Each structure stands twice: as C-alpha cells, then as structure tokens.
Structure 1
Amino acid sequence: MSLHEYRRKRRFDRTREPEPGAPPRGRRPIFVVQLHHASRRHYDFRLQVGDALKSWAVPKGPSYDPAVKRMAVEVEDHPLDYASFEGEIPHGEYGGGHVARFDSGVWASDGDPEAQLAKGHLRFELFGTKLKGAWHLVRSGKPARQPQWLLFKERDEHAGKLEADDLLADVAPPPDADARRAGRGKPGKKKLSEPPPARRRRRDWAAAARELPGARKASLGGGAFELQLARLADGPPQGEQWLHEVKWDGYRIAAAVAGGKARLWSRNALEWTGKLPEIAAAVESLGLRSAALDGELIAGRGAREDFNLLQATLSGEKQGALALVLFDLLHIDGWDISAAPLAQRKALLEALLENAGPHLRYSSHVVGAGEQAFALAGEQGFEGIVSKRGDRAHHPGRSDEWRKSKRLGSDEFAVVGYTPPKGARSGFGSLLLARPDAHGEWVYAGRVGTGFSEQLLERIAARLPKGAAAESVRVPAHDTDLRAARWFAPKFVIEAFYRGIGGNGLLRQASLKTLREDKKPADLLDSDRAPARRAAASKARRAKAGDSQAASPTPSSRSVMTSKSKRSARAQPAALEDLRLTSPTRVVYPDIGATKHDVAAYYFAMADWLLPEIAGRPLSIVRCTQGAARPCFFQKHHTAGLEEVDSVALEEESGQRADYLVVRDLRGLMNLVQFNALEFHPWGATAARPDRADRIVFDLDPGPGVAWSEVVAAARQLRSLLKSLELASFVRTSGGKGLHVVVPVAPACGWDQVKAFAHGFAESLATMEPLKYIATASKKFRKDKIFVDYLRNGRGATSVASFSLRAREGAPVAMPLRWEELGRIKSGHAFDIDSAQARVKRLRRHPWAGIDEVRQNLDRVMERLQARDED
C-alpha cells in the first residue's frame, strides 16, 4: 500500500498526525513501535522500507520468546515523520485513541527487504533500546481481508521470556478512558524500561593482560585514540616476524569502552556511535569495563566489491549486515597493553572474540608467507594484504612496521576541479584530482570519469562549487581538454583505481572506486606512500632476492584465505571467520530461526567429533539450497566449486565410473556447508577400500502407533542378540523417529557377505516376533511395528553420520550414546543444534570410545551360524 491510503483515511484538519512530506535522505532505515489504545489495544510495528514506514498491527506486541509467534496484521504505509508522533488521535477519527512511542532505532537486513517481503519472509535485526537482535516476519497463508503475518524472535543471545508488556516502565500511559475501552494489557510483575543485558560468562581479562610484556595499569576514557597506520609498499615483506592480514575494504573504526559503555570513532576522531548502534552494542556485550580496540567496519565479506554496499548501507540506499573486523587490542580492563608485541595482543584479542556475535569478527593472519597470502587474497576478491611486525609494540602514526600491498593500484586523491558534462551525463564530465608532494604542495594527478553510479553522480555533483576559479594546482599545459575545466581548492576526497602512472606523472586508465566521506583533503598530507628513495630501495632488494620468495612458508592455520596447494600441506582454519560463507543470515530452519551462519558455526564447533565419522569415506550429502522447510536433494558426485573436497572414482551399477565426494579435513567439511549441505551420510567403507565394509548399521524405524519405549526395548534386544553372536554393538539416535544400532567389522569384509548377514538377521527378528518387527520397507504393513532396515548395508548405501544435523523441523542431530544412558533419552530427535553442542562440552570421552579398536570377524560369525543350522 502507498501513502495515498494513509491520506485517504485521515482528515489532517482534525488530527495531529503528520501529513506526508519530503523524506529525509542519507541516513540508515529506522523502525518504530508504538503502543496504540484505539478501539482495541495493540502495538503498531513499523519498518522503514524506501521512503515510507511499512506497518503492522500486533495485538499482543513483540515477544522475546522464539516459540511465541505473534499475529501481525499488515496495515497501510505511514510517512517517516510518523515515527516521532505521540499523543491523542481524536475519537471519531480513524484510529482514534492514545499513541505512545514504545521503542525506536535503526534496523538492518542482509538483502533487499522489498524482495524478501514480496516472497513472504523478512529476516531482520533491530537496534533499539527495548527490542534487540534478530526477528522474523513470515506471511501467513490464511485468506484474510488484510494480509496477516507472523512476527517472532530468532534464537540468539537476546532471546528470552520477556513480552512487550513487560517493558512499559518508561512508556507514557494512556488516559483512563482509553485504557478502560481498549484494555490495559498484561498485569503482574514489575515493569522494566529495557531488557536486562544478556548474561556473559566473565573472564578475568585483567589477569591475562598483566602477564603480557610491558603491560601497565592505566585508566581509559571513552574518547578517540591515535591509530597505527600502514605505508604503501610494492609487495609483501619477507620473514617470520611479519603477520599478514587481508586488507579489509571499509572504514577504520576505533572502539573505546569506559564504564562498560562503548563509543565508536572514525580515523578523523569523528564519533560514529549513533551511526552504528549494532557495533556499539556488540562491543558492550563483550562485558568489558574498559577497552581500546582497533578495526575496520565492513559490509558483506569486506572484499573489494562490498565497499559500495557498505556506503549504501550507511546512507540508507541499501540494506546490508555490518560487522567490525578487529585486528588490534591496546587496552583491556584497566591495563594498557600497547607495549606488548602485536602477536601477543592479537592472541588475547582472539580469545576475547571467541564467542562474540556476528557483528564482531577477528582479523586472522598468516605468519611469514607474504607472497602466498598476497596471491590468495587476490583470488578471493580482496584488494590486497596488510603486513605487520608481529614482534613490535603499538606505534601511533604511519611507519614501515605496518605495510599494505595492493593488487590493483588504488589511492586517495583530493578533488580540485571538474570538466563540463558531455552527452547524456549531467553534473560533470570528469573529476580533476590532486595529491600532495613531499613539501605539502598540491600536484595535479589526472582525471577520473568512469565508475560512477547514478547515486554517486548526484551526491558528488551536489558537492561541486558553482562557477569558475583560478587553478589550485600545477596543470600540464598541453592538455587542451582542461581549458574549459572549473577549478577550486581541494574540496573532498575520492579513491580511484588506476593502471599505473604515465611518463607525465598522470594516472593511467583511472576509474572511481568510491567517495571517501570519512576523510578530508588534509588527511592526504599524511601519505601512506613511502618516500621515492625508500620505495626504489625496496624494489631493488626484491629484484635481488629473485625467486627466493617462492620458498616462503605455507600460511599458518590462522589464514583467512583458502589455498590450492595439496591438502596434506594445507593449513586448517582456526576460526569460523577464516572461511568464506555467503548469505550467512539466510534462514535455514524457519521454525526456530536458525540461519546458515548458525549451521556453519555448529559444524565448525563439532568438527572434531564429526570428522572421524566421515573423513576418508565416500559421502552423500543432503543439500537444502532453500532451507530445510523446502525440498532438499541428495548429492553424491563431485561438482564444480568444491575445491576443498576430495573425490574418488568409483564404478557404478551402470558400469560407468563417477567421482564421489570424499571429505579429508575441516576445509572440505566447511566447503560442503558453504554449498548448503545439512546432512552427511557416509558409506560403511573407506574410499581407499570401497569394496570392503567395516560398519553394519541396523536402522530401527518405528511405524505409526509404536511408542518410544518399544524402540528402546528393540535396540536393547538387538544388542543382546548380537552379543550372543559375539558381536559388540553401539547405539545412536537417528535425529528422526528411531535408533541406529551400529556393528563395527574388522577386518573389513565384502559387501555381499555384509548384506547377506544384515538381511538374514533382520528376517530372523521379523520371523521370531512378527507382531513387533517387519523386515520389508512397504509402509502399508508397518503400522504398530518396527521396520528393521538392513538396506543401509550394500555397496553405495549410506546412513547418517553421528553428530550430523537433519533437514527436519527443530534442527535435530543424530547423536551417539552409551548403552547405559539410552533409558534417559526421550526420542530419536532428543538432541538439536543447541543441545548437541552443550552435550559434547560435558562429555569426558566419546560415547563410542574404542569402537575403532574393536576386532570382530564376520567370517567366524557366519561359520558359527552355519554350524547351528547344520546341527
């Protein structure tokens, strides 16, 4: 609906509600929630989308409980000025009654909100005083006069049991007449003005800080502090003393915490706290009393192509998720640690950020291997790397201890003029650029006329002075196109790509990268370029070194980049942020609001438990590219894009050979997660010996009418029968309705023998207790019976791995158990994405400890069974 509907329903000579006006520009999208005592009491929930507030009436208000889904009736759009409206709407007018502001702030979504709303599912984050964290709006399929949606909270660190009615301590109450007519809301406990802060397990960071070399006690205010800056280099330096990080493409931000409150500062000491409420809140959630942190504000991955998204997000033109990538820690809880070596400061920073949310990331690094890091950064779309001396203290200002190496030349320039537009372009033709020389004089550097979006053309044109003035820089006399140029003193800063510098000292093939609204021309006087003599000397040293750089060490396990070297020599990531993950906020399990990032975080945390189950085995995966609630599909063959996943060529029933998936390590696992894999189903054989089975799996699948206690009893009966054959067995929940009983086989044996044994064992059970078991897959015979599925024991057949998620409601997990604890388990899906991680943290040893050492020969079992038959 448009604002036309808003106007139609109101008489502005009788109501104080605002008439639609010109929307403000250049700010992030806002939200507002108002408590409205109209004919019925309800909350009005409004999100700025474009130039209007999309609006929903929520009768009971938002709930912090993810299990509570509140009806939200879509109503007409409201103007942005409505966000500040409070007071009485006259009775007899549309919506007559009292309106009070409940909460307001900015909001964000990873993606186009209009497109998400059109599809019927919007995931978003709120950064208010009362409403925080991630939420969902999902359109209901029920037919109604007005579109109905469901509003519910995502399971994150803010989730709890609070209701909107619990947070009314500072909300203006309605007149008694309105309260009697519309209702008074939830009675009971004392009202709060905002939710209590999320509980965070405190650690004595001061104790860790004072152990660092040079640490000293110091107080810290919340003001800006001086940052260490990098100098531009021709290439990365060599030596194990250098740490190499990705050059993030964003805005430098200093975060200062004093008294538990965070303030954010740009490199120019301009306060950005109000612009970045999610970052300030994330820093405060670390639970520090005082701190000084240094990082880069990014959108998306922070790669070169994401910088425009960052700018568009800050200006309100687009929606994007913002994060602060932190790479230095200078003060923590009363201790100044700036004198400690950078490598030790970063180690403490990494520990501090271990459980931080998505808005804070750790900038990982590699040690020594600068050339490889530089090459890999380029392959992944980053502009370059920053190399830092890991053995040095923090030194404010620019020096050679921090060096940046860029793949494509880019630099910052002051705009000192423009040429008139030609053709269809309006505003200007090219921007005329200058840079300061060693004496601080401005020197003409060339022009840039490409790379402008329509929005940037408008914003830059509005900054250009009108009329002509004298040249403010030295200009080449031979450039006839500059005769019509208009000049002015250095006005603002842009960043441009270029393909080198010509013999005349001018940029070659320059194109605009971005408008640097965070910098002023005076900032360019502190150039990041080394003096000419130093740059030449550096280049000469590298030429002398020749190909020796190729022998640099392999990147360490902290690398943020993936390598194409042999997997055996490849470093493994030390943090989830070390791995590329696209669309991290896409909801995968809509019933609980779990995102792709949540899935990746689960598999990263559980990798040490899951990998022994799947590594080195042919593997099938269940991929859910649209989430677990939509159709998923099995994949067993290797495909393009799975660079980190190995393969093995296996012959299929058709006689053709095909490349089957094989995971070798953590990178392979996470590569599949990036490709939306939710379930992992390994063969009961290794890729090295695919025709020799070393695991037998009996899947106890209960039909309709079978109680869980009967499934547990069946598993115990199988264990007893297998034990009588001198076969040890192990049990796990399937993550679905049933249980798996797993029998290790060593030495491994042929599939024909394994399948014959499994089939015969299942048929024996069904013959022995026909009212309890069935050994055929036909569903029409399975009511009140347990299907003993033996079909997972043939060549090419698979069963779900222990610790694998399932693509089902609630994100259940297949969990191995000790036989002794089976009686305490309530269902086959008793463990989910959260409780599974909590369980393994409590475990002192694997529930199946020793399974790989079990030696049981199926040949001898078959011989004993044959002897029994002959007797």
Structure 2
Amino acid sequence: MPDALKLYKAKRNFDITSEPAEGGVASTDALTFVIQKHWATRLHYDFRLELDGTMKSWAVPKGPSYDTHDKRMAVHVEDHPISYSDFEGTIPPKQYGAGKVIIWDKGTWEPIGDPHEGYRKGNLKFEIHGHKMHGRWVLVRMKGRGDDRQEPWLLIKENDEYARPAEEFSVVDEMPDSVKELPMPKRARGKVAALKAEAQSEAQSEEVRKPARKSAAKSATKAVSKTAASKAAAKPAAKTSRARKASVPGLPEGVKKAALPEKFTPELATLVDAPPPDPENWVFEVKFDGYRMLTRVENGQVRLITRNDNDWTDKLQPLQKELERIGLPDGWYDGEIVVHDENGKPNFGLLQLAFDGVRTADIVYFLFDAPYCNGYDLRDVPLVERRAALEQVLKEAKSDKVRFSAEFGTNPDELVLAACKIGLEGVIGKRRDSRYVERRSPEWIKLKCGLRQEFVIGGFTDPKGSRKGVGSLLLGTYDREGVLRYAGNVGSGFNHASLMDISERLEALRTDESPFPPRAVPGRQHHWVKPVLVAEVSFSEWTNTGSVRHPVFQGLRKDKPAKGITREEPRHIEDIDALKPHSAPTDEPVSPPPPGLHRKLPETLRVTNPDRVVDPSTGITKLDVIRYYALVGELMMEHLKRRPLTLVRAPSGIGAELVFQKHADVKKLPGVKQMDPALDPDNPPMLEIAGVEGILSVAQWNAIELHTQNAVAKSYETPDRIVFDLDPGEGVEWHQMQEAAQIMHAFLDELGLPAFLKTSGGKGLHVVVPIKPEYGWDTVKAFSQAIVRHLAATLPDRFAFKSGAKNRVGKIFIDYLRNGRGATTVSAWSARARPGMGISVPLEWDELMKLKSSTQWTVTNVHTRLDRGNDPWTGYAKAAKAVTKAMKILGFDE
C-alpha cells in the first residue's frame, strides 16, 4: 500500500538506515503485532498492530501496564511496513528515530468487534497473545487535538484474569529483554494440535530395542506431552510468575531437544530451621536415609553415579540389571538408594551392610526427578511437570526395586512430626514451579527430625573395660579456610561388628601428625589418623565450644569426600523465602522471564531515584542495578568477605564523573563496617562488606563497582592471592586474549601455582592465584613482576612489560601492579561502570575458548549464568600454595 507508507518513507534515508523500506507478507490466519523497545531521544515502546497490509503504530513512552487504572499515553505515528516487525538493530545518528531498537514482544492479536470501525472511531478493542502481552486491551483516542498524524491515544488494560496492580507487577521492569530469537507464541488450541503431532512423530520415530524399553520411552513422550496439553487447556492461575522460554513448539514451556551430557551434577537441598510459610507452593517428600544416586541411561546402557561423580555401577550390579530390564528412556535420573528394615523403614546401617556383604539385591531405588529424559532437557520445566513425566515412566516400568518418590503430604508441620515419630530422618520440600539447577538451591529445602550430619574422623581413643576396637572417634569439620576444626567425639551407636570394622580401617590410616590445629583436642591419649574417613552422626545440639552433645554413630559414608565436610548451619526459612524469585513460576503466561528475575529487596531498603538511568546505552536504571546486586549478593560475598573494599560510585551515571571511595562514614550504610584502624594507621579506617545488606547499601549509594585488596583483615600485611590482569593494547583481538590466558595458565602450572580465571567485565581477563599468606606486600608484588617480566622477555611479540599505551600496541600488558599494598581488583560478580555494564564472572579454564568476550555477561543477561554461580572456582579456598618453590624455579631472589 504505497500511500499508507508515504510518510514512513519520507522520514528515512534507506541508503543510511538498515530499516526496511517496504515489504512483508500479510498474515493469512492471524493478525500479528510487535512491540519494539526504542532508545531514541527518550526511551519508549513502539506498539504496532497489523491491519490492512501495514503495521498501525503508536509510540508509548512508559510502555504497557497490566494495571487497569493506568492509562498509558500512546502517540499515533505513521504506518510501518509489515517487514518492520523483524527489525532489531541501531538506527544511525542523525537519522529519524536514531538509537537502539529491540523486539520487546511479538505475537498475534484478535479484534473484539470490527477493527476498522474501532480504529476509525478511536476505540479499538482487542485480545493479544504474545510472550509478555496477554488478555484484553483497548486503544482509545483522546479528543481536542488537531494533528491527526500525532494523535494522542491511551493504551489501557481491560479487566480480566491477567490484570495486575502496578505496585505488584511492572511488565516493562521485570521483562526488559528481546524476544527476537523466540518462536512466535501459539494459541492454546494450536498448541494442543501441535502437541498431538509431536507426540505421534516421537512415537513413530522411537527405535524399538526391546519391549520394556519401548513402553517406557513411549511413556516419557506421552507424559511430557500430557503435561503440555493440560497446561495449554488450563486457565491462567491467579498468581503471576517468571516466564520460561519453550524451544520445542507444542511441548511444555522450558523443554528443549538436547543431547545427553556425559557429566551431571545433582541439585542439593538447603537445611532450614522451620517449614515454609507458603506450603501450598511446595512438594514434600520423605527424606530418605540412604545414598544419593544418579542414573545415566543411553542406548540401554546404565551407569550409576554418586553425587560426587563416583561411578558405582560395579558396586550396584543387581540394581543396574533391574534398571536395564525395565528399559528407562535415555536420560539422567535423580534419586536415593535405601535398604528397608523389618518395619519397612529406610535404615542407613543396613544399607552399609549391603555394600559390605552380598546383599545389594536388597537395595531399593527411589527416583524423584528426571532432569533429562527421552531426548529432552527438562531442567527448565517446572518440578511438578518433570515429576509427572517421571511418574508415568515408572508406572509403565512396574518394578519393586525402582520406585517413584511420591508426595508425603501437604502440611509440613504435621509431616515432620509424623516422620520423626516413625523414625524417618526428616522431610524434603521443593518448590512446585522450580527448575532443576546443578548446585545447592534455596528452592529445595530439608527439614530434619533432629541434628544429624557428616563428620571427618581425625583420630580415636583406646577402648575401656571389656570394649574392643576403639573407645571413641574424634570428629571434625572443615571451616572456610580449609582447617579441620575439632567437633567433639562419639563413642555410642557401635556394635561389635562395626567396632571391629572401623578399628581395622583406622589402623591402616594411623599417623603421628594431628589433623587438627595444635591443642584443639583436650586430653593427651589420642591416636591420630589421616582425615579421609567420613562418619555420619546424630546428636542433640551444638555446644558453645562447637562440639556435639549426645552424639550417636550412624555409620561410615562412602559417597562423600572428607574435604567437602563442613558444619551444616540451618538457614532461617524467612531468608530462604526472601531468596525465591520475586514471582514464583506458574503456568500463567503473564510473568517475568529470566532477564527480569530478581531477589526480593529488603523492606528496610529505601531506594532513592530508582528510575534514574545509570547507563544511557542500555537504559539500565539505578533500581535495575540494585536488583542485580540483590540477585548475585550471596555469590559475591564469597569474594568480598573480610577484604578491604574500594567503591566506584556513579552519582550522575556512568557517562559522568566517577567517584573512587575507600573510606566512609558507615552509619547510614547497613551491612558495611569499618576495619580495625591499626591495619592502616596513616589513613582513615578501611571499609568491609559484612553481608548482602551491605552490597545493597552501597548500591543505593550509587556504587557500581566493588573492588577488593589481595589480603584479608586477619593477615593484612601478608597477601593471600596474586592477581594478573591481562589488558589488551590497541589492535589486540579477542582470540589473542584467549591464547594469552592459556599461556599464562601453562606457565603458572610450570611454577606449581594454582590459577583461577574470571572475566574482567571490561576488555580483559583476570588470572587469580591463591597463595599462602607468608610474604609481605613488596615481596609478592616483586615476584608477580618477575613472572610478567619473564613472559614478556620470552614472548615479546605477545606481551608488553611496560604499561604505557604506546608500548603495547598489538600486545597484551599483564598488569602486576594490582599486587601492591592498597591496590585493588574488581570483585567477581561486580558490575562495571562502562556502557553495557558487563560483569566479572568466574570461569572454568575449559570455558575460555568458547567465550565470546569479557562482556559476555552483563547486568541484563546474568540470569544465563546463575546456574553455574561460583562452581567454576570450587576448591579455591583450599588451593592456596606456598610460593617459595615457585620463586626458586623462576630464579627469583627475594
């Protein structure tokens, strides 16, 4: 329609802008819509509805609102071609509408009544089906204006099941990102039809190896499809939640086709001190008294893997054969193995006897999750749908030895009481809508009947009287610094057989050196052993001195390494509740997706100027920054704790003057404290973040970056890490940075030094070396300088030793200056005060070559990395090495 696009074309120079001049095909079955988020002179949302071969368009400054009381201004602008619906990019400077454009939402719309009549009269009602926009809306033209091409209209949400109060939900705040890569949303009736076709296709293409396997595989497809069908037909729930992206049309949201990974890490539950306040949103199961066990099935081959990635297939051959017999579909299955006593109750001692003898046939395997099943990755599928699929598969399997872990009930207070009365260990709770994450999660909780946990055995005492074997076991747990702390002793719970068995094991581990700190264990007549055995012990309480009271030995654990045993501290359920996503995921389409996921902010935190734009290039606001730090706060504390802090504040945004802050009055900064003035007597006291509240306090104070020094307060004069900042000079490409980091890693390995990697969030990479705190600042800095000098001398075409810009054109400067007294490095998970607001993220070394840039993760897309969290740096606290040997290898003379 040339006349309809005349004004559109007149405003644009298509030799300069990448916007389409015309084109696009009108839909034959449904009218389309698009909403484009547009950072022009001011941020606004371009709302476009397909009608009569063009996109009727309105500019909505504040974007849509689900609150029926909000009447959002919508300025009527020129028609756009249908092809514009696919446009995402940047309109060049000095062109009409110059600025960044993303596709914020897309989908289809249905007019309510005659759309031509409604458009002409200025009362256009419609129902919309997008990723973010749902339900009934109306565009109403205001009267009294003369310019019909800039008519003021209002965009208003109609009162329906999707309506939400503005103070409860803001769709533009909580769903900020592009949907360009997502498929077009389908109506529910379309989903059911597509689902049936998908299920039939899966059933027809399934290879038939043997009858049991065929039956189970069909069940998997049917079960996944069944949950999708019921969800598509169901009405939206009253509560909203974060949305998930379905990548397989017709199947549950979150499911996607995926190859079966070789390795898998189970989700772990968090110990809490009370049931959750919203039990209706949780699934409760029995806490089994057994061993956590993962099963990997591929092409009929079954492997049984412990939670710490130990292959126990050979130890569990009867179970392996049973799993092969029932023919589970290819996948990863999560559960617990137990042995029941004569009363049908799981008994940990009998489970141990099953391993020690020949009674592994008595083992029963309770499955409670299926993160991968039948060619699909189900980790992003809500828990209840994963469990429904698993339950259907196991119904077809018909096995007494492999069972489904059913729901235990709905009232957690009564459940815990009942579990304790019948002698169970406790109850596990899981959020109904939670996705599966490969780490410890607050969305899985454990409620124990009594105190019970694992301890490392560090020694033993002699038996007294007629007792044989050992008198008691000396127990310990590792602290955050990797020191084995004495936790008391246990002498009850043994029988003759267990005493003889453990005595024999301990004799083989005897040593003259105590694994505990000096004088930690009272008394003198002790025998020390290498700290490799793990005992499970129940007890009544912890004493003030950190020992267990009334301990009872339950058995040895063979599925957990001693180095990973720490004191279990129950979390307050209120804290766990605060860690849940701002809106829990449900089946309702209107919900914040992963990009808008954030932690609930403390009610005591007053955010001033929340809408002030911090980064004009992205539109990120001060509130966005605070929400980001609420999201990563707990991850970040592992890198901030006990270290002197420096802040980079941006009171006027990152394009204006920045303020570097090392000292401050902390009275108005909850969670921030001043360090001992004696650490740096010539200056005001240094700052320290004491908890997540402190991170939020400084973010409210306009801090963007949080930097730390290379020493902790208790040993400030002896650094405990070395940092190498790989900083690219002009002309250096990213692949050169990757190669440089690999070279750095290899050289440090030659020196016998551990190395951990993270992005800088800017242009470079950080290599962090944990060391024993034994040398002073000057020595450590000089040693780091010697390493850089050696690399620069060995590979002068790659590395520059001098820092000036002219000295490193085409080269990489490895900045060793960050290792001096008072020098700082940006903390892991800190945002950067630069356009785009990249963040510093811990990495595995084998991820390096897949990395696209140091700004791969930003404040707006951090949700794509949260599942990994700090896992890439697992073992950092215990990896520190003395550097004396490395100094000698390098020929460094201190």
Same-fold call, TM cutoff 0.5: no
Length-normalised TM-score, structure 1:
0.42
Length-normalised TM-score, structure 2:
0.41
